[in-house]
Amino acid sequence: MNLKTLLSLQEKPAPFTPGEPLFWDDPHISTQMLKTHLNPDIDLASRRPETIQKSVDWLIATLGLQTGDAVLDLGCGPGLYAARLAAQGLTVTGIDYSRRSIDYATQYAQQHNLDIVYRYQNYLTLEDENVYDAALLIYGDFCPLAPKQRRRLLQNVQRALKPGGYFVLDVTTSLHRQKYGNRNGWYAVETGFWKPGPHLVLEEGFAYPEESIFLDQAVVVEENGRISIYRNWFQDYTRDTIVAELERSGFAVRSVWNDLWGTPFTPDTEWIGLITQTD
């Protein structure tokens, strides 16, 4: 084990410096992620089923969605929102960059005769045009993207929506990060989330308070000495900063909430839910 290399990897990187590419589609990691998505007792990869259902019901009522309306679920995972939307008569397209999640979601839709089209795709490459009545990006999926990626995504969503279509998303605030704090430490396991075999994990959190950015980093050392570095970036927001960013990309912000199931906005919120609309 090269300690100098490990020490260099624990230095604070520049904002949005990438780690391992496309690691959410890694065969082992994606299996662990799917298990986490489907665990009804935790709010990690996905929110709990009762919260998802509450959100789906509120969004359909608030947006005035009707049977047959087209909804785009970005970062759909195993289809937990998409399946509930389709069950209420909506025509749903789900996009995710985890092949394992898309396979699970597709099988579930087929088994339950749900009108859903799932696509294994990076939503940064979305080229759909004038198709959807609403697009959803739920559970903070906007926050890990670098500024250029966020601008590209917003352009893609603008193009994909019909005139007057809705774009719904939620983002975190700095209070969310303060609540959970840094994960600084290490552990060794025979098998775990990151690797199927024995490995050492060095966890560290880095804060960039002037830019409202936070990094969760895991340096993983396998038995053969191979080192992998996994980075989860988070851009946190205030009400003013997320509204300004969305408006710069041409979205009109119609309402702001503490969540996406109807809690009125308060300044001490950990989450900001937004309903926006195209021209």
Give me the pLDDT at residue 44, please.
84
Confidence of residue 121 (pLDDT cuts 50, 70, 90): very high
pLDDT (tens digit per residue) in 189-225: 999 999 999 999 999 999 999 999 999 999 999 999 9
Top pLDDT among 6 and 160 is at 160
Give me the pLDDT at residue 2, please.
67
Give me the pLDDT at residue 80, please.
97
Closest of 33, 155, 147 to residue 101, by C-alpha? 33
What contacts 141, CB < 8 A, 6 or more positions away?
74, 75, 169
Does the fold of domain 39-173+237-277 match that of domain 3-10+176-234? no
Q: Where are the domains of the chain?
A: 3-10+176-234, 39-173+237-277
Rounded (10°) CA dihedral 213, 216, 221, 227: -30
Across the range 242-259, mean pLDDT stands at 98
Residue 165 contacts residue 157 (beta carbons within 8 Å): no
138: tokens are 């739920």
Taking the C-alpha atoms of residue 153 and residue 160, their distance in angstroms, rounded to an integer, is 10
Across the range 99-106, mean pLDDT stands at 97
HEC assignment per residue over 218-231: EEEEECCCCEEEEE
Confidence of residue 240 (pLDDT cuts 50, 70, 90): very high
Q: Which CATH class is domain 3-10+176-234?
A: mainly beta
Give me the pLDDT at residue 1, please.
60
In terms of CATH, what superfamily is 39-173+237-277? Answer: Vaccinia Virus protein VP39 (3.40.50.150)
Residue 140 contacts residue 171 (beta carbons within 8 Å): yes
**In Å, how far from its chain's centre is CA 274?**
15
**In the predicted model, what is the mean pLDDT of the chain?**
95
pTM: 0.94
The single-letter code of the amino acid at 164 is G
Residue 10 has pLDDT above 80, yes or no: no
Residue 54 has pLDDT above 80, yes or no: yes
pLDDT (tens digit per residue) in 19-46: 999 898 999 999 999 999 999 999 888 9
E strands, the chain, are 70-74, 91-96, 116-120, 132-137, 161-172, 185-189, 199-208, 213-222, 227-235, 252-257, 271-277
Residue 252 has pLDDT above 90, yes or no: yes
* Angle made by CA atoms 34, 106, 112, in degrees to the nearest 5: 110
Give me the pLDDT at residue 5, please.
77
